[in-house]
A = this chain, B = another copy of it.
Amino acid sequence: MSHGDVRRLYRLKEGVHSVRTASGEVVLAAWPHLQEMGRLTAEQRSLLQVLATDRSAEKLTERCPRDQADRLLAMLSSGGWLITTVVCGDRPLFSSQPLVPHRKPLPPAEPRRLSRFASVRRDGDAIVVESPAAGAEVRLYDSRLVEPVLTLGAAQQERPDVPLEAVRLLTDELAHRGFLATTAETNSLSSVQWSPHELAFHHGSRLRGDHRMGRDFGGSYWAKGRFDAPPGKHPRWPAAAIELPRPDLDRLRVQDPALTEVMEERCSIRSYDEDNPLTVEELGEFLFRTARVRATGTDAEGLDVSSRPYPGGGAAYELEIYPLVRNVRGLDAGLYHYAPHGHRLLPVPASATALRWLMKASAAGMTGEATPQVLLVIATRFGRLAWKYQAMGYALTLKHVGVLYQSMYLAATAMRLAPCALGVGDSDAFAAATGLDYFEETSVGEFALGSLPAARRESTG
C-alpha cells in the first residue's frame, strides 16, 4: 500500500455555531465560548458551512482559493474548533478532537515517552487515548495503532495496513497536543504529586470545553426511560428494626449552644471514656440531628427526593450510614444500617472476621489512639445521583461526605461527644461485611464517635 493514500480530513466539532454579526464579522460559538473570526470572504463562509462533515484539504480548495482555505483552517485549528481524521483510502485510522484552544505544549523530556497521565481504553468500537495534561482526545479506529501510541512509534516496522506515514502523523499529533512526558513529570512537585487516577478524575469531573452541561454532563437525567431510578428508600434489611430514641427538637432549637460557640469549640477527639460509653439515646439524638428524613417527594423527572438536616445536590440523598457499634450502652455490638425515614437501626448480618477487618482498616486512618465506640461508615448508593448527573456524580458524593462530616462534628460538639472524621477506609472490607454489590453501594467515608474522656468532660464542662 502506498503512503500517498494517507490523508487528513477536517470537520468542525459538534455543537459549534457560526453567526454573522450586523457588521459582517463571523463569530464562532460553543457555549460558553466565543471566538471572533473577523471578516471572512464569501468562499470562506461557504467552507465553514461544508465543514459540518469531513472534508479533505483538496476538496476545500476546489471551492476556494488555497490561501484563503489554508488561513481559515489555521484559525479554526488554533481555536480548537476542528476535528482532524486521518484516513488511509476510505478507512479511518484515527481522529483528534481538541478540548481547548491550541496551546504550545511544554518541551518533552528526553528520551521522548508517553506521559504517565495518558491512558488508553476501549470505548465502543474505538480505542480512546486521553490525558488530563493534553489538549485533545485521540480516537483510534485500528487496534494496530495502539502499540505506536505506547512507544511513540519507536522502531516501528512497516506492517500490512499500517502505513508508517500514519504512525508518523499519529505520534506528531500526540506530541503537538501534549501527550508526551515533560521534565516536570519527574522533577516538579506540582506534577509528581498527582496520581494518574486523581488528575484524570479532576479533569473528567469538572466543566470543560467539550462538556455540554445538561446534555452529556451534569444534571442530564440521561438514564430516564432507560433504567428505573433507584428508590429513595434503601431496600430494607431483613432483621427486626430497633426504634431509636428521638430528641426534643423544640427544646434544642432554644437550648442548644450558639452556632459560633460550636464552630469555634469543635475539634477532633480520638479517645473515649470506656466506663461511661456513648448511650443509645445519644446515638439516636446524634443521627436525628444530622441525618433523619424530614419530608419526602418526587422531582420533576420522577426521582424520589427528600429533606434532611444537611444539604444535598438535587435533594437525591445518596448517602447511607452504617454504625459499626463496639461499645454503646443499650445497643449490642455489631453492624447496623440507619434507616433515616423511620429513624431506626436495622441489624446487618456480618461475620466477626469481616467486622474486625472493617474496624481495623478504618481505624488505621485515626493514627491509632483508640478504637471508636461507634464507627459510622458512610456508603454511597451512587445510582441515586448517577441516574441524574453525568461525569460529576462521584465528585458530588464526596462533597456530600464532607457536608455530613461537618454536620456530625458540630452536632457531636454541641452534645459534648468525641468526634473524628477519618481520611480513608476500606471499601472491600465494607463489601465483605455487608455483602452489598460494590458497583451499587460502596463506602466513601468513615466517622468515629464516642463519649468524651473524663478529663475533657471536666475541663470544658
Contacts and interface: CB of A to CB of B under 8 A. Distances in A.
Interface of A: 32-33, 100, 113-123, 127, 143-144, 146-147, 150-151, 184, 188-209, 213, 217-219, 223, 227-228, 230, 249, 252-264, 266-268, 289, 309-311, 313-314, 357, 360-361, 364-365, 382-383, 386-387, 389-396, 398-407, 409-411, 414, 421, 423-429, 437, 439-440, 442-445
Nearest to A121: B119
A262 to B, nearest CB: 5
B264 A258 contact: no
B426 A206 contact: yes
Contact of A213 (B258, B364, B382, B399): B364
This chain's copy number in the assembly:
2
A253 B258 contact: yes
Given A116-B122, A309-B264, A414-B259, A198 B204 contact: yes
Given A32-B364, A206-B444, 8 more contacts: A117-B121, A143-B150, A189-B383, A190-B437, A193-B387, A207-B364, A401-B402, A403-B405
A445 B313 CA distance: 13
10 shortest interchain CB distances as A-B pairs = A402-B402, A193-B386, A197-B204, A201-B201, A256-B258, A398-B398, A399-B402, A189-B227, A198-B394, A252-B260
Contacts of A406: 310-311, 402-404, 406-407
Contacts of A402: 398-406
The winner among A205, A254, A260 for most chain B CB atoms within 10 A is: A260
Given A204-B197, A259-B262, A116 B123 contact: yes
Contact of A263 (B190, B217, B389, B407): B407
Contact of A196 (B100, B121, B202, B207): B121
B119 A119 contact: yes
A217 B426 CA distance: 12
5 contacts: A32-B364, A190-B440, A256-B258, A403-B403, A410-B410
A220 to B, nearest CB: 12
Nearest to A255: B258
